[in-house]
Amino acid sequence: MDLQMYFEGKPRGSKANLARSLGITKTWMGLLISKRRIPSAELAMEIERQTGGEVTRQDLRPDLWT
């Protein structure tokens, strides 16, 4: 699942909360959600951890993990 699908149906503020817990800005989170930027390997692993595996590192960076 990608980040956009992950946030569908989530309460208001979920994106900002995840961005804060990841140590990134809301703007950077928006760029990741819209796939205009890709996360670093470390950030992809942290997103996977903080989403409970719903968004996997493979979903975020298929070029690194297959």
Of residues 66 and 51, the one with the higher pLDDT is: 51
Distance CA 64, CA 15 (A): 25
pTM of structure: 0.93
pLDDT class for 66, splitting at 50, 70, 90? confident
Determine the Cα–Cα distance for residues 54 and 52; give it in Å rounded to an integer. 6
pLDDT per residue over 17-58, tens digit each? 999 999 999 999 999 999 999 999 999 999 999 999 999 999
* Domain positions in the chain: 3-60
| CATH (one of 3.40.50, 1.10.150, 1.10.260, 3.30.70) for 3-60 | 1.10.260
